[in-house]
Structure 1
Protein backbone atom coordinates (compact mmCIF):
# COMPACT_ATOMS: atom_id res chain seq x y z
CA UNK A 1 0.00 0.00 0.00
CA UNK A 2 -0.29 2.08 -2.04
CA UNK A 3 -0.58 -0.55 -4.77
CA UNK A 4 0.40 1.73 -7.65
CA UNK A 5 4.05 1.76 -6.52
CA UNK A 6 4.12 -2.06 -6.66
CA UNK A 7 1.75 -2.73 -9.56
CA UNK A 8 4.43 -4.29 -11.80
CA UNK A 9 5.41 -6.94 -9.25
CA UNK A 10 2.35 -7.18 -7.05
CA UNK A 11 1.76 -10.86 -7.92
CA UNK A 12 5.24 -11.79 -6.62
CA UNK A 13 4.71 -10.32 -3.16
CA UNK A 14 3.44 -13.02 -0.75
CA UNK A 15 0.22 -12.16 1.00
CA UNK A 16 0.50 -11.71 4.75
CA UNK A 17 -1.55 -14.09 6.89
CA UNK A 18 -3.08 -13.36 10.27
CA UNK A 19 -5.19 -15.23 12.78
CA UNK A 20 -7.66 -13.99 15.38
CA UNK A 21 -6.53 -14.75 18.93
CA UNK A 22 -9.79 -13.93 20.75
CA UNK A 23 -12.48 -15.72 18.77
CA UNK A 24 -14.87 -16.43 21.71
CA UNK A 25 -14.97 -12.79 22.86
CA UNK A 26 -15.21 -11.49 19.30
CA UNK A 27 -18.03 -13.88 18.40
CA UNK A 28 -19.99 -12.74 21.44
CA UNK A 29 -19.51 -9.10 20.48
CA UNK A 30 -20.89 -9.84 17.00
CA UNK A 31 -23.97 -11.44 18.56
CA UNK A 32 -24.51 -8.45 20.82
CA UNK A 33 -24.66 -6.12 17.82
CA UNK A 34 -28.14 -7.48 17.10
CA UNK A 35 -29.27 -7.46 20.74
CA UNK A 36 -32.02 -4.92 21.33
CA UNK A 37 -30.96 -4.45 24.95
CA UNK A 38 -27.66 -3.05 23.67
CA UNK A 39 -29.41 -0.25 21.78
CA UNK A 40 -32.41 0.38 24.07
CA UNK A 41 -31.73 1.27 27.69
CA UNK A 42 -34.10 1.95 30.57
CA UNK A 43 -32.81 5.53 30.73
CA UNK A 44 -33.90 6.13 27.15
CA UNK A 45 -37.43 4.90 27.89
CA UNK A 46 -37.57 6.96 31.11
CA UNK A 47 -36.62 10.12 29.21
CA UNK A 48 -38.95 9.38 26.28
CA UNK A 49 -41.21 12.41 26.73
CA UNK A 50 -39.86 15.90 26.09
CA UNK A 51 -39.45 18.23 29.10
CA UNK A 52 -41.99 20.96 29.56
CA UNK A 53 -41.26 23.93 27.34
CA UNK A 54 -40.84 27.26 29.17
CA UNK A 55 -40.74 29.53 26.12
CA UNK A 56 -43.38 30.41 23.56
CA UNK A 57 -44.20 27.78 20.93
CA UNK A 58 -45.64 24.33 20.59
CA UNK A 59 -44.93 21.63 23.16
CA UNK A 60 -43.00 18.67 21.64
CA UNK A 61 -44.23 15.22 22.61
CA UNK A 62 -40.91 13.38 22.24
CA UNK A 63 -37.47 14.18 23.55
CA UNK A 64 -34.40 14.40 21.34
CA UNK A 65 -33.23 11.14 22.92
CA UNK A 66 -36.38 9.37 21.69
CA UNK A 67 -35.85 10.61 18.14
CA UNK A 68 -32.20 9.61 18.30
CA UNK A 69 -33.15 6.12 19.48
CA UNK A 70 -35.60 5.65 16.59
CA UNK A 71 -33.04 6.85 14.04
CA UNK A 72 -30.39 4.59 15.59
CA UNK A 73 -32.61 1.50 15.33
CA UNK A 74 -33.41 2.34 11.73
CA UNK A 75 -29.71 2.68 10.93
CA UNK A 76 -28.62 -0.49 12.75
CA UNK A 77 -31.32 -2.71 11.30
CA UNK A 78 -31.40 -0.93 7.92
CA UNK A 79 -35.05 0.10 8.12
CA UNK A 80 -36.83 2.97 6.41
CA UNK A 81 -38.70 5.44 8.60
CA UNK A 82 -42.08 3.71 8.24
CA UNK A 83 -40.56 0.34 9.12
CA UNK A 84 -38.69 1.99 12.01
CA UNK A 85 -41.99 3.22 13.40
CA UNK A 86 -43.42 -0.30 13.18
CA UNK A 87 -40.31 -1.80 14.78
CA UNK A 88 -40.49 0.63 17.70
CA UNK A 89 -44.20 -0.09 18.21
CA UNK A 90 -43.56 -3.82 18.39
CA UNK A 91 -40.65 -3.32 20.82
CA UNK A 92 -42.81 -1.17 23.11
CA UNK A 93 -45.54 -3.83 23.01
CA UNK A 94 -43.12 -6.66 23.80
CA UNK A 95 -41.54 -4.72 26.65
CA UNK A 96 -44.92 -3.76 28.04
CA UNK A 97 -43.99 -0.07 28.08
CA UNK A 98 -46.74 2.53 27.79
CA UNK A 99 -45.11 5.01 25.43
CA UNK A 100 -46.27 6.81 22.31
CA UNK A 101 -44.22 5.94 19.24
CA UNK A 102 -43.45 8.94 16.99
CA UNK A 103 -44.90 8.95 13.50
CA UNK A 104 -42.42 8.51 10.68
CA UNK A 105 -43.06 12.08 9.52
CA UNK A 106 -42.19 13.30 13.02
CA UNK A 107 -38.95 11.29 12.96
CA UNK A 108 -38.08 12.78 9.57
CA UNK A 109 -38.88 16.36 10.62
CA UNK A 110 -37.11 16.17 13.98
CA UNK A 111 -34.07 14.48 12.45
CA UNK A 112 -33.28 17.64 10.50
CA UNK A 113 -30.76 19.46 12.66
CA UNK A 114 -31.17 17.14 15.65
CA UNK A 115 -28.69 18.08 18.39
CA UNK A 116 -27.10 14.97 19.81
CA UNK A 117 -25.92 15.16 23.42
CA UNK A 118 -22.14 15.06 23.73
CA UNK A 119 -20.75 11.68 24.67
CA UNK A 120 -18.90 11.53 27.96
CA UNK A 121 -15.31 10.62 27.11
CA UNK A 122 -13.03 9.62 30.00
CA UNK A 123 -9.87 11.66 30.20
CA UNK A 124 -6.92 9.55 29.11
CA UNK A 125 -3.25 10.30 29.48
CA UNK A 126 -2.50 8.42 26.26
CA UNK A 127 -2.18 10.85 23.30
CA UNK A 128 -4.27 10.31 20.21
CA UNK A 129 -2.73 8.81 17.08
CA UNK A 130 -5.01 10.33 14.47
CA UNK A 131 -5.69 8.94 10.99
CA UNK A 132 -7.92 11.11 8.78
CA UNK A 133 -9.54 10.03 5.54
CA UNK A 134 -12.67 10.70 3.49
CA UNK A 135 -15.01 8.77 1.23
CA UNK A 136 -18.04 9.44 -0.92
CA UNK A 137 -21.59 8.40 -0.02
CA UNK A 138 -24.35 8.19 -2.58
CA UNK A 139 -27.47 10.30 -2.25
CA UNK A 140 -30.92 9.16 -3.31
CA UNK A 141 -31.41 9.90 -6.99
CA UNK A 142 -31.74 8.51 -10.48
CA UNK A 143 -29.58 5.49 -11.15
CA UNK A 144 -28.30 3.23 -13.89
CA UNK A 145 -31.56 1.27 -14.05
CA UNK A 146 -33.54 4.34 -15.16
CA UNK A 147 -30.98 5.12 -17.84
CA UNK A 148 -30.99 1.56 -19.19
CA UNK A 149 -34.73 0.91 -18.94
CA UNK A 150 -36.11 4.15 -20.31
CA UNK A 151 -33.14 5.23 -22.45
CA UNK A 152 -33.01 8.57 -20.70
CA UNK A 153 -30.00 10.65 -19.88
CA UNK A 154 -29.74 10.81 -16.12
CA UNK A 155 -28.80 13.93 -14.28
CA UNK A 156 -25.46 14.38 -12.62
CA UNK A 157 -25.38 12.13 -9.56
CA UNK A 158 -24.99 14.09 -6.35
CA UNK A 159 -23.10 12.66 -3.44
CA UNK A 160 -21.77 13.64 -0.05
CA UNK A 161 -18.26 13.43 1.33
CA UNK A 162 -17.79 11.77 4.70
CA UNK A 163 -14.69 12.76 6.69
CA UNK A 164 -13.63 10.50 9.56
CA UNK A 165 -10.81 10.64 12.08
CA UNK A 166 -9.73 7.35 13.69
CA UNK A 167 -7.70 6.99 16.86
CA UNK A 168 -5.22 4.15 16.32
CA UNK A 169 -4.83 3.67 20.08
CA UNK A 170 -8.47 3.19 21.08
CA UNK A 171 -9.87 2.18 17.69
CA UNK A 172 -12.73 4.69 17.99
CA UNK A 173 -13.83 7.47 15.67
CA UNK A 174 -12.91 10.69 17.46
CA UNK A 175 -14.06 13.21 14.83
CA UNK A 176 -16.38 13.23 11.84
CA UNK A 177 -18.07 15.56 9.40
CA UNK A 178 -20.34 15.30 6.38
CA UNK A 179 -19.86 17.89 3.65
CA UNK A 180 -20.87 18.47 0.07
CA UNK A 181 -18.74 17.03 -2.70
CA UNK A 182 -17.05 20.36 -3.47
CA UNK A 183 -15.36 20.64 -0.04
CA UNK A 184 -11.74 19.55 -0.14
CA UNK A 185 -10.07 17.44 2.53
CA UNK A 186 -7.77 20.21 3.86
CA UNK A 187 -10.76 22.59 4.03
CA UNK A 188 -12.71 20.19 6.26
CA UNK A 189 -9.72 19.48 8.52
CA UNK A 190 -10.13 22.44 10.97
CA UNK A 191 -13.67 21.38 11.91
CA UNK A 192 -12.45 17.82 12.46
CA UNK A 193 -9.62 18.90 14.74
CA UNK A 194 -12.04 20.99 16.82
CA UNK A 195 -13.74 17.74 17.88
CA UNK A 196 -10.55 16.11 19.20
CA UNK A 197 -10.19 16.32 22.96
CA UNK A 198 -6.69 15.89 24.30
CA UNK A 199 -3.21 15.87 22.81
CA UNK A 200 -2.31 14.37 19.44
CA UNK A 201 1.16 12.90 18.95
CA UNK A 202 0.81 11.42 15.45
CA UNK A 203 -1.12 12.52 12.38
CA UNK A 204 -1.42 10.25 9.34
CA UNK A 205 -3.16 11.19 6.09
CA UNK A 206 -2.84 10.67 2.36
CA UNK A 207 -1.34 13.05 -0.18
CA UNK A 208 -4.52 15.13 -0.41
CA UNK A 209 -3.51 16.83 2.85
CA UNK A 210 0.03 17.65 1.69
CA UNK A 211 1.04 21.29 2.02
CA UNK A 212 2.02 24.02 4.45
CA UNK A 213 -1.56 24.92 5.51
CA UNK A 214 -2.06 21.46 7.00
CA UNK A 215 1.34 21.43 8.72
CA UNK A 216 0.86 24.93 10.14
CA UNK A 217 -2.63 24.08 11.37
CA UNK A 218 -1.46 20.92 13.17
CA UNK A 219 1.50 22.73 14.75
CA UNK A 220 -0.77 25.53 15.97
CA UNK A 221 -3.33 23.13 17.44
CA UNK A 222 -1.12 20.43 18.98
CA UNK A 223 2.34 21.97 19.20
CA UNK A 224 5.46 21.76 17.03
CA UNK A 225 6.42 18.31 18.36
CA UNK A 226 3.55 16.53 16.63
CA UNK A 227 4.70 13.90 14.13
CA UNK A 228 3.07 14.51 10.75
CA UNK A 229 3.33 11.73 8.17
CA UNK A 230 1.90 12.75 4.80
CA UNK A 231 3.43 11.37 1.58
CA UNK A 232 4.70 14.09 -0.75
CA UNK A 233 3.96 13.73 -4.47
CA UNK A 234 6.50 12.36 -6.93
CA UNK A 235 7.41 15.80 -8.24
CA UNK A 236 7.82 17.37 -4.78
CA UNK A 237 10.84 19.62 -4.32
CA UNK A 238 12.69 20.75 -1.23
CA UNK A 239 11.94 24.09 0.38
CA UNK A 240 14.27 27.05 0.05
CA UNK A 241 15.70 26.57 3.56
CA UNK A 242 16.03 22.80 3.35
CA UNK A 243 19.83 22.91 3.67
CA UNK A 244 19.85 24.90 6.93
CA UNK A 245 16.41 24.35 8.49
CA UNK A 246 14.67 21.37 6.88
CA UNK A 247 10.99 20.81 7.59
CA UNK A 248 9.40 17.41 8.21
CA UNK A 249 8.25 17.41 4.60
CA UNK A 250 11.83 18.03 3.43
CA UNK A 251 12.99 15.04 5.48
CA UNK A 252 10.31 12.86 3.91
CA UNK A 253 11.32 13.93 0.40
CA UNK A 254 15.00 13.22 1.12
CA UNK A 255 14.26 9.80 2.66
CA UNK A 256 12.12 8.77 -0.30
CA UNK A 257 14.83 9.87 -2.74
CA UNK A 258 17.47 7.82 -0.90
CA UNK A 259 15.63 4.70 0.27
CA UNK A 260 12.53 4.57 -1.93
CA UNK A 261 8.88 5.11 -1.14
CA UNK A 262 8.14 1.62 0.18
CA UNK A 263 11.05 1.74 2.62
CA UNK A 264 9.92 5.18 3.74
CA UNK A 265 6.43 3.83 4.46
CA UNK A 266 7.84 1.11 6.70
CA UNK A 267 10.25 3.43 8.50
CA UNK A 268 7.64 6.11 9.24
CA UNK A 269 4.74 3.77 10.00
CA UNK A 270 2.68 5.22 7.18
CA UNK A 271 1.28 1.74 6.49
CA UNK A 272 -0.96 2.20 9.53
CA UNK A 273 -3.03 4.58 7.43
CA UNK A 274 -4.61 1.49 5.89
CA UNK A 275 -6.71 1.25 9.05
CA UNK A 276 -8.40 4.46 7.96
CA UNK A 277 -9.30 2.88 4.63
CA UNK A 278 -10.50 -0.21 6.51
CA UNK A 279 -12.77 2.08 8.54
CA UNK A 280 -14.32 3.41 5.34
CA UNK A 281 -14.97 -0.13 4.13
CA UNK A 282 -16.47 -0.99 7.50
CA UNK A 283 -18.79 2.01 7.30
CA UNK A 284 -20.09 0.97 3.88
CA UNK A 285 -20.52 -2.65 5.00
CA UNK A 286 -22.26 -1.93 8.33
CA UNK A 287 -24.00 1.42 7.78
CA UNK A 288 -24.22 1.32 3.99
CA UNK A 289 -22.85 3.13 0.93
CA UNK A 290 -25.87 5.47 0.72
CA UNK A 291 -27.40 8.30 2.70
CA UNK A 292 -31.12 7.67 3.21
CA UNK A 293 -32.15 11.18 4.27
CA UNK A 294 -33.19 13.69 1.62
CA UNK A 295 -32.15 17.09 3.02
CA UNK A 296 -28.65 18.05 4.09
CA UNK A 297 -29.47 18.67 7.77
CA UNK A 298 -30.95 15.20 8.18
CA UNK A 299 -28.00 13.71 6.31
CA UNK A 300 -25.56 15.25 8.79
CA UNK A 301 -27.63 13.81 11.66
CA UNK A 302 -27.59 10.39 10.01
CA UNK A 303 -23.81 10.53 9.69
CA UNK A 304 -23.37 11.49 13.36
CA UNK A 305 -25.58 8.61 14.47
CA UNK A 306 -23.62 6.27 12.20
CA UNK A 307 -20.42 7.28 13.99
CA UNK A 308 -22.01 6.49 17.36
CA UNK A 309 -23.20 3.12 16.07
CA UNK A 310 -19.73 2.10 14.93
CA UNK A 311 -18.17 3.28 18.17
CA UNK A 312 -20.76 1.32 20.17
CA UNK A 313 -19.92 -1.81 18.16
CA UNK A 314 -16.21 -1.23 18.73
CA UNK A 315 -16.86 -0.93 22.45
CA UNK A 316 -18.62 -4.31 22.48
CA UNK A 317 -15.43 -6.00 21.33
CA UNK A 318 -13.05 -6.19 18.41
CA UNK A 319 -10.70 -8.89 17.09
CA UNK A 320 -7.07 -9.16 18.08
CA UNK A 321 -4.74 -10.35 15.33
CA UNK A 322 -1.33 -11.87 15.23
CA UNK A 323 0.68 -12.47 12.09
CA UNK A 324 1.38 -16.08 11.13
CA UNK A 325 3.13 -15.66 7.77
Structure 2
Protein backbone atom coordinates (compact mmCIF):
# COMPACT_ATOMS: atom_id res chain seq x y z
CA UNK A 1 0.00 0.00 0.00
CA UNK A 2 1.53 3.29 -1.07
CA UNK A 3 1.64 6.32 1.19
CA UNK A 4 -0.54 9.26 0.44
CA UNK A 5 1.48 12.20 -0.97
CA UNK A 6 -0.19 14.48 1.58
CA UNK A 7 0.73 12.22 4.48
CA UNK A 8 4.27 11.93 3.15
CA UNK A 9 4.64 15.70 3.03
CA UNK A 10 3.32 16.10 6.58
CA UNK A 11 5.57 13.29 7.81
CA UNK A 12 8.63 14.93 6.29
CA UNK A 13 7.57 18.31 7.66
CA UNK A 14 7.12 16.93 11.18
CA UNK A 15 10.51 15.25 11.00
CA UNK A 16 12.13 18.52 9.93
CA UNK A 17 10.61 20.20 12.99
CA UNK A 18 11.96 17.45 15.25
CA UNK A 19 15.44 17.90 13.81
CA UNK A 20 15.40 21.51 14.97
CA UNK A 21 15.83 20.14 18.48
CA UNK A 22 18.93 18.10 17.59
CA UNK A 23 22.04 19.21 19.47
CA UNK A 24 25.31 18.94 17.58
CA UNK A 25 28.50 20.16 19.26
CA UNK A 26 31.85 20.31 17.51
CA UNK A 27 35.09 21.86 18.73
CA UNK A 28 37.79 22.34 16.12
CA UNK A 29 41.32 21.06 16.62
CA UNK A 30 42.54 24.66 16.38
CA UNK A 31 40.33 25.68 19.32
CA UNK A 32 41.57 22.72 21.36
CA UNK A 33 45.14 23.74 20.54
CA UNK A 34 44.52 27.18 22.04
CA UNK A 35 42.68 25.86 25.11
CA UNK A 36 45.65 26.33 27.43
CA UNK A 37 47.00 29.79 28.15
CA UNK A 38 50.25 30.71 26.38
CA UNK A 39 53.40 30.88 28.51
CA UNK A 40 53.59 34.06 30.52
CA UNK A 41 56.37 36.47 29.54
CA UNK A 42 55.96 38.83 32.50
CA UNK A 43 56.14 38.35 36.25
CA UNK A 44 53.25 36.60 37.93
CA UNK A 45 51.55 33.23 38.06
CA UNK A 46 50.93 31.17 34.93
CA UNK A 47 47.32 30.99 33.86
CA UNK A 48 45.93 27.54 33.09
CA UNK A 49 43.20 28.48 30.61
CA UNK A 50 43.31 30.80 27.63
CA UNK A 51 40.86 33.64 27.11
CA UNK A 52 39.35 31.54 24.29
CA UNK A 53 38.47 28.74 26.73
CA UNK A 54 36.89 31.15 29.21
CA UNK A 55 34.97 32.92 26.43
CA UNK A 56 33.62 29.63 25.07
CA UNK A 57 32.37 28.48 28.47
CA UNK A 58 30.75 31.81 29.27
CA UNK A 59 29.12 31.92 25.84
CA UNK A 60 27.54 28.52 26.40
CA UNK A 61 26.29 29.69 29.77
CA UNK A 62 24.61 32.73 28.23
CA UNK A 63 23.11 30.77 25.32
CA UNK A 64 21.60 28.11 27.56
CA UNK A 65 20.88 30.54 30.44
CA UNK A 66 22.85 28.59 33.04
CA UNK A 67 24.62 29.80 36.19
CA UNK A 68 28.35 29.27 36.39
CA UNK A 69 28.25 25.95 38.28
CA UNK A 70 25.87 24.44 35.74
CA UNK A 71 28.01 25.87 32.94
CA UNK A 72 31.02 24.03 34.34
CA UNK A 73 29.08 20.77 34.46
CA UNK A 74 27.68 21.30 30.97
CA UNK A 75 31.15 21.88 29.53
CA UNK A 76 32.47 18.76 31.28
CA UNK A 77 29.70 16.67 29.73
CA UNK A 78 30.49 18.08 26.26
CA UNK A 79 34.17 17.21 26.67
CA UNK A 80 33.21 13.70 27.76
CA UNK A 81 30.83 13.20 24.81
CA UNK A 82 33.44 14.42 22.34
CA UNK A 83 36.12 12.27 23.92
CA UNK A 84 38.59 15.16 24.25
CA UNK A 85 41.09 15.41 27.08
CA UNK A 86 40.71 19.00 28.27
CA UNK A 87 40.44 20.47 31.74
CA UNK A 88 37.26 22.47 32.29
CA UNK A 89 37.50 25.78 34.20
CA UNK A 90 35.76 25.76 37.56
CA UNK A 91 32.89 28.15 38.29
CA UNK A 92 35.11 30.31 40.51
CA UNK A 93 37.66 30.59 37.71
CA UNK A 94 34.93 31.56 35.23
CA UNK A 95 33.66 34.21 37.64
CA UNK A 96 37.13 35.66 38.29
CA UNK A 97 38.30 35.60 34.66
CA UNK A 98 35.04 37.04 33.29
CA UNK A 99 35.83 40.32 35.01
CA UNK A 100 37.94 42.24 32.52
CA UNK A 101 37.83 39.57 29.79
CA UNK A 102 38.37 41.21 26.40
CA UNK A 103 36.17 39.53 23.80
CA UNK A 104 37.53 39.12 20.33
CA UNK A 105 35.56 41.28 17.87
CA UNK A 106 33.70 39.39 15.19
CA UNK A 107 34.03 41.06 11.78
CA UNK A 108 30.83 41.74 9.87
CA UNK A 109 30.13 39.46 6.92
CA UNK A 110 29.95 42.48 4.60
CA UNK A 111 31.63 45.56 6.01
CA UNK A 112 30.30 47.72 3.16
CA UNK A 113 26.63 46.77 3.58
CA UNK A 114 24.49 49.61 4.91
CA UNK A 115 23.52 49.31 8.57
CA UNK A 116 20.05 49.97 9.93
CA UNK A 117 20.99 50.87 13.48
CA UNK A 118 18.71 50.85 16.50
CA UNK A 119 19.93 51.48 20.05
CA UNK A 120 18.55 50.92 23.52
CA UNK A 121 19.71 50.42 27.09
CA UNK A 122 18.78 48.35 30.11
CA UNK A 123 19.66 48.38 33.79
CA UNK A 124 21.79 45.65 35.39
CA UNK A 125 21.69 45.05 39.13
CA UNK A 126 24.93 44.10 40.88
CA UNK A 127 24.61 41.22 43.34
CA UNK A 128 27.28 40.83 46.01
CA UNK A 129 28.14 38.57 48.92
CA UNK A 130 26.05 40.67 51.33
CA UNK A 131 22.79 39.62 49.66
CA UNK A 132 22.78 36.18 51.36
CA UNK A 133 23.64 37.61 54.79
CA UNK A 134 20.84 40.16 54.51
CA UNK A 135 18.36 37.40 53.72
CA UNK A 136 19.61 35.01 56.44
CA UNK A 137 20.07 37.46 59.31
CA UNK A 138 17.51 40.04 58.20
CA UNK A 139 20.16 42.73 58.20
CA UNK A 140 19.33 46.18 56.97
CA UNK A 141 19.56 46.16 53.21
CA UNK A 142 22.24 48.31 51.68
CA UNK A 143 21.62 50.54 48.73
CA UNK A 144 21.83 48.39 45.59
CA UNK A 145 24.26 49.29 42.83
CA UNK A 146 23.26 49.37 39.19
CA UNK A 147 24.98 49.52 35.83
CA UNK A 148 23.56 50.47 32.47
CA UNK A 149 24.11 48.36 29.37
CA UNK A 150 23.85 50.27 26.07
CA UNK A 151 23.48 48.20 22.89
CA UNK A 152 23.32 48.86 19.17
CA UNK A 153 21.58 46.34 16.88
CA UNK A 154 21.89 46.10 13.11
CA UNK A 155 18.37 45.34 11.88
CA UNK A 156 19.74 44.00 8.58
CA UNK A 157 22.06 41.32 9.96
CA UNK A 158 20.48 40.94 13.42
CA UNK A 159 23.90 41.40 15.04
CA UNK A 160 24.81 43.44 18.11
CA UNK A 161 27.47 45.69 16.58
CA UNK A 162 28.24 48.04 19.48
CA UNK A 163 27.92 47.99 23.25
CA UNK A 164 28.94 49.95 26.28
CA UNK A 165 28.57 49.49 30.04
CA UNK A 166 28.23 52.64 32.14
CA UNK A 167 27.10 53.70 35.57
CA UNK A 168 23.38 54.26 36.04
CA UNK A 169 23.70 58.06 35.98
CA UNK A 170 24.87 58.17 32.35
CA UNK A 171 22.02 59.12 30.03
CA UNK A 172 21.29 57.32 26.78
CA UNK A 173 22.16 60.31 24.61
CA UNK A 174 25.41 60.83 26.55
CA UNK A 175 26.51 57.25 25.90
CA UNK A 176 25.70 57.41 22.17
CA UNK A 177 29.09 58.81 20.96
CA UNK A 178 30.98 55.85 22.43
CA UNK A 179 28.54 53.47 20.75
CA UNK A 180 28.76 54.87 17.24
CA UNK A 181 32.57 55.13 17.48
CA UNK A 182 32.56 51.31 17.40
CA UNK A 183 30.78 51.20 14.01
CA UNK A 184 33.05 50.87 10.99
CA UNK A 185 30.46 50.78 8.20
CA UNK A 186 27.88 53.06 6.58
CA UNK A 187 24.57 53.65 8.36
CA UNK A 188 21.43 54.45 6.37
CA UNK A 189 18.82 54.37 9.14
CA UNK A 190 18.89 55.20 12.85
CA UNK A 191 16.02 54.27 15.19
CA UNK A 192 15.86 55.19 18.87
CA UNK A 193 13.28 56.09 21.49
CA UNK A 194 12.49 59.55 22.80
CA UNK A 195 15.40 59.51 25.27
CA UNK A 196 17.71 60.29 22.33
CA UNK A 197 15.64 63.22 21.02
CA UNK A 198 17.59 66.45 20.78
CA UNK A 199 19.67 68.56 18.46
CA UNK A 200 22.93 67.24 19.91
CA UNK A 201 22.03 63.67 18.94
CA UNK A 202 20.93 64.60 15.43
CA UNK A 203 23.98 66.79 14.82
CA UNK A 204 26.25 63.98 15.99
CA UNK A 205 24.59 61.47 13.66
CA UNK A 206 24.78 63.78 10.65
CA UNK A 207 28.44 64.55 11.35
CA UNK A 208 29.29 60.87 11.70
CA UNK A 209 27.15 59.28 8.96
CA UNK A 210 26.23 62.14 6.62
CA UNK A 211 23.17 64.28 5.88
CA UNK A 212 21.45 61.48 3.93
CA UNK A 213 21.01 59.41 7.10
CA UNK A 214 17.35 58.77 7.90
CA UNK A 215 16.66 59.35 11.60
CA UNK A 216 13.48 58.15 13.31
CA UNK A 217 13.29 59.41 16.89
CA UNK A 218 9.79 60.17 18.23
CA UNK A 219 9.51 63.76 19.44
CA UNK A 220 7.62 64.33 22.70
CA UNK A 221 3.91 65.14 22.66
CA UNK A 222 4.61 68.81 23.45
CA UNK A 223 7.31 69.16 20.77
CA UNK A 224 7.32 72.44 18.85
CA UNK A 225 8.64 73.37 15.42
CA UNK A 226 12.05 74.96 15.02
CA UNK A 227 12.26 78.74 14.79
CA UNK A 228 13.25 78.54 11.12
CA UNK A 229 10.58 76.04 10.16
CA UNK A 230 8.96 78.22 7.48
CA UNK A 231 12.18 78.85 5.51
CA UNK A 232 14.25 75.75 6.25
CA UNK A 233 12.36 72.94 8.02
CA UNK A 234 14.41 70.24 9.68
CA UNK A 235 13.73 66.47 9.47
CA UNK A 236 12.38 66.74 13.02
CA UNK A 237 9.93 69.43 11.86
CA UNK A 238 8.63 67.05 9.19
CA UNK A 239 8.20 64.35 11.81
CA UNK A 240 6.25 66.67 14.11
CA UNK A 241 4.04 67.77 11.21
CA UNK A 242 3.42 64.16 10.15
CA UNK A 243 2.41 63.19 13.69
CA UNK A 244 0.10 66.20 14.08
CA UNK A 245 -1.60 65.42 10.77
CA UNK A 246 -1.76 61.62 10.75
CA UNK A 247 -1.19 60.55 14.33
CA UNK A 248 1.74 58.93 16.09
CA UNK A 249 0.88 55.36 15.09
CA UNK A 250 0.76 56.31 11.41
CA UNK A 251 4.17 57.99 11.72
CA UNK A 252 5.65 54.90 13.39
CA UNK A 253 4.46 52.72 10.53
CA UNK A 254 5.55 55.12 7.79
CA UNK A 255 9.02 55.71 9.27
CA UNK A 256 9.69 52.07 10.12
CA UNK A 257 10.00 52.97 13.79
CA UNK A 258 8.05 49.83 14.76
CA UNK A 259 11.11 47.79 13.79
CA UNK A 260 12.82 49.13 16.90
CA UNK A 261 10.87 46.55 18.93
CA UNK A 262 13.46 43.98 17.78
CA UNK A 263 16.06 45.39 20.15
CA UNK A 264 13.56 45.65 23.02
CA UNK A 265 12.90 41.90 22.70
CA UNK A 266 16.56 40.98 22.24
CA UNK A 267 17.74 38.49 24.93
CA UNK A 268 20.37 40.93 26.23
CA UNK A 269 17.68 43.57 26.79
CA UNK A 270 14.66 41.43 27.60
CA UNK A 271 16.41 39.19 30.16
CA UNK A 272 17.92 40.45 33.42
CA UNK A 273 21.54 39.35 33.67
CA UNK A 274 23.76 39.71 36.71
CA UNK A 275 27.17 41.20 36.26
CA UNK A 276 30.12 38.84 36.72
CA UNK A 277 30.46 37.96 40.37
CA UNK A 278 28.83 35.69 42.90
CA UNK A 279 25.91 33.55 41.86
Kindly report the root-mean-square deviation, in angstroms, between the aligned alpha carbons of the 2 structures: 2.9
For residue 319 of structure 1, what is the aligned residue in structure 2? none
2:265 is paired with a residue whose SS is helix
User: Aligned match of 1:154 in 136, 141, 149?
Assistant: 141
The one of 244, 254, 268 aligned to 1:283: 268
Alpha-carbon separation, structure 2, partners of 1:268 and 1:214: 18
Unaligned runs of 5+ in 1: 1-22, 296-325
- In the alignment, is the contact (CA less than 8 A) between 2:147 and 2:166 conserved in 1? yes
Deviation at 1:25, TM superposition (A): 11
Could you say what secondary structure the match of 1:177 adopts?
strand
Indicate whether 1:186 and 2:173 are aligned.
yes
CA shift for structure 1 position 130 = 0.8
CA distance in 2, matches of 1:76, 1:53: 31
Structure number with the higher helix fraction is 1
The answer for the alignment partner of 1:176 in structure 2 is 163
- Checking the alignment, whether the CA contact within 8 Å between 1:256 and 1:264 is kept in structure 2 is yes
1:114 Cα deviation after fit? 0.8
Aligned to 2:256: 269
Tell me the distance in 2 between the aligned counterparts of 1:127 and 1:24.
Answer: 38
* C-alpha distance in 2 between matches for 1:82 and 1:150: 25
Matching residue of 1:47: 34
Kept in 2: contact 1:139–1:290 (CA 8 A) = no
Indicate how the Cα distance of structure 1 residues 73 and 271 shifts in structure 2: closer, same or farther if over 3 A, else same: closer
* C-alpha spacing 1:232/1:29, structure 2 compared with 1 (3 Å): farther
- Displacement of 1:199: 0.3
Unaligned runs of at least 5 residues, structure 2: 1-12
Residues 222-262 of structure 1, C-alpha deviations (whole Å, 9 max, x = no match): 11110111111111112222221211111111222222222
Q: Structure 1 residue runs of 4+, over 4 Å off?
A: 23-30, 149-153
Deviation at 1:48, TM superposition (A): 0.5
Superposed, which structure 2 residues align to 1:135-150 within 5 Å?
135-140=122-127
Within the candidate set 18, 36, 41, 2:25 is matched to: 36
Q: CA deviation at 1:60?
A: 2.0
Separation in 2 of the partners of 1:264 and 1:137?
32
Number of paired residues?
A: 263
The alpha carbon displacement at 1:151 in A equals 7.2
The reply on whether 1:233 has 2:220 as its aligned counterpart is: yes
Say whether residues 1:108 and 2:95 are aligned partners: yes
TM-superposition CA deviations, 1:266-310 (whole Å, max 9, x none): 22222222222222xx3366xx41315239xxxxxxxxxxxxxxx
Query: For residues 88 and 264 of structure 1, do their structure 2 counterparts lie closer, same or farther at Cα, with a shift above 3 Å needed?
Result: closer
CA distance in 2, matches of 1:76, 1:30: 16
Q: After TM superposition, list the pairs within 5 Å mapping 1:89-128 onto structure 2.
A: 89-128=76-115
Bigger relative contact order, structure 1 or 2 (CA pairs below 8 A, ≥6 apart): 1
TM-superposed deviation, 1:158: 3.0
Q: How many Å separate the matches in 1 of 2:19 and 2:230?
A: 53
Q: TM-score, normalised by structure 2?
A: 0.81
- Structure 1 range deviating more: 193-202 or 74-83: 74-83
Residue 134, structure 1, aligned to residue 121, structure 2: yes
